[in-house]
Amino acid sequence: MKRLKIKLKGVQKGLFHDTFYWVIKSSWFKFLFVAMIAYLLINSFFASLYYFIGAEIVNARPDSYWDAFVFSFQTSSTLGFGHYLPKSDLAHVIVILDTFSGIFYVAIVTGLAFAKFAKASARISFTDNIIVSVFDGVPTLMFRMVNSRETHIVDVNLNVSALIPYVSKEGMHMRRFHKLPLVTSHNPTFSLSWTVMHQITEESPLYGMALKEIQENAILVFVSLTGIEDVLSQSIHASHQYPTESFVKATKFVDILDTTKKDNYTLDYARFHDYE
């Protein structure tokens, strides 16, 4: 999904400033990679303690950092094969800290992974374009959505707003959100495709604007959908943004719903974005 690019200046962000949000937002590969590197760094830290402080470890070579690292890894992961053992009191103290950090780290990573895995998400697809057409003799904006899962989303509410330039009486330039009233903004069950329509009547903030004027004013359309996923029984949401260049003049979207078979509907995703 194409989103409006926003660059923040003067705001602290990143892994260490908002760890939980970063974990939820990042890909599984990035999350697991960072978790692995962090775990290796923790083991390297304790291996350095064993090695440089001179903690005695049974069967470990005194000049081998690798032996100290392997011992730290086995200790933090509670493997304990029995080949390497702490010998001195100093080694036992470090082992206690090493074991505690390993258990604590695994608990944190497991909790973050579960939160990431259990996060409910919607699979709603939106057409690439929003078309300017005519419906019931009235100029109308249209775009289409489809539920990409073979499930039902119940009690669906849809909100569509346009970001329109505005100049105050004092000459102050700004951009303001205006809600676009829809022909249908509520759906009791969303399992097929849904063509969303906003009629440009006198009550519309886009009244009097043709396609050229919409593009000249760089108007953006924002879509927000909420509902309850019937399998997960959890609230889900989806959002989409239509930039100015996505507005096109067309008659309608190509029909993708096949209802020729009784009680068996078929959606042709291959033509989902097509219009005529």
CATH number for the domain harbouring residue 154: 2.60.40.1400
3-class secondary structure per residue, the chain: CCCCCCCCCCCCCCCCCCHHHHHHHCCHHHHHHHHHHHHHHHHHHHHHHHHHHCCCEECCCCCCHHHHHHHHHHHHCCCCCCCCEECCHHHHHHHHHHHHHHHHHHHHHHHHHHHHHHCCCCCEEECCCEEEEEECCEEEEEEEEEECCCCCEEEEEEEEEEEEEEECCCCCEEEEEEECCCCCCEEEEECCEEEEEEECCCCCCCCCCCHHHHHHCCCEEEEEEEEEECCCCEEEEEEEEECHHHEEECCCECCCEEEEECCEEEECHHHCCCEC
Kindly state whether residues 156 and 233 are assigned to the same domain.
yes
pLDDT tens digits, one per residue of 41-80: 999 999 999 989 888 888 888 889 999 999 999 998 888 7
- Judge whether 165 and 220 are in contact, CB under 8 Å: no
Query: Is 128 found in the same domain as 102?
Result: no
133 and 113 within one domain: no
Q: How high is the pLDDT of residue 248?
A: 93
Q: What is the mean pLDDT of the chain?
A: 87
Q: What is the pLDDT of residue 156?
A: 93
> Are residue 134 and residue 252 in the same domain, yes or no?
yes
Q: Are 155 and 188 in contact (CB under 8 A)?
A: yes
Does 253 reside within a domain? yes
Q: Within this chain, do residues 163 and 245 fall inside the same structural domain, yes or no? A: yes
CATH of the domain at 26: 1.10.287.70
According to the model, what pLDDT value does residue 20 have? 82
Task: For residue range 174-222, list pLDDT tens digits in order.
Answer: 989 999 999 999 999 888 889 999 999 999 999 988 888 888 888 999 9
Q: pTM above the 0.75 mark?
A: no
pLDDT of 257: 80
Let me know whether 88 and 203 are in one domain.
no
Domain that holds residue 54: 19-118
Which of 78, 102, 118 is at the close of a domain? 118
> Which pLDDT score is estimated for 1?
46
The pLDDT assigned to 155 comes to 92
Residue 9 has pLDDT above 70, yes or no: no
**Tens digits of residue pLDDT in 26-43:** 888 999 999 999 999 999
Residues 111 and 128 in one domain: no
In a domain, 43, yes or no: yes
118, 141, 167 — which closes off a domain? Answer: 118
Quick one: three-class SS letters along 122-174? CCEEECCCEEEEEECCEEEEEEEEEECCCCCEEEEEEEEEEEEEEECCCCCEE
Q: What is the arithmetic mean of pLDDT over 135-147? A: 92
- pLDDT digits 0-9 by tens, 146-162: 888 878 889 999 999 99
**Is residue 7, in this structure, part of any structural domain at all?**
no
Report the range of poorest mean pLDDT among 19-23, 234-238, 259-263.
259-263
CA distances from 140 to 38, 59, 165 (A): 54, 79, 20
Is there a domain that residue 254 lies in?
yes
81 pLDDT band, cuts 50/70/90, is: confident
- Report yes or no on 3 lying in a domain: no
pLDDT (tens digit, 9 = 90+) per residue, 249-274? 999 999 888 777 776 777 788 888 99
Q: State how many domains the chain has.
A: 2
> What pLDDT was estimated at residue 241?
92
Reported as a single tens digit per residue, the pLDDT across 99-135 is: 999 999 999 999 999 888 877 777 889 999 999 999 9
Residue 166 and residue 53 share a domain: no
Is the domain of 137 the same as that of 251? yes
**pLDDT given for residue 6 in this prediction:** 62
Q: What is the mean pLDDT of residues 129-148?
A: 92
pLDDT of residue 224: 94
Determine, yes or no, domain membership for 165: yes
265 to 9, 96, 191, 193: CA distances (angstroms)? 50, 63, 10, 11
250 with 170, same domain: the answer is: yes
pLDDT band at 3 (very low <50, low <70, confident <90, very high): low
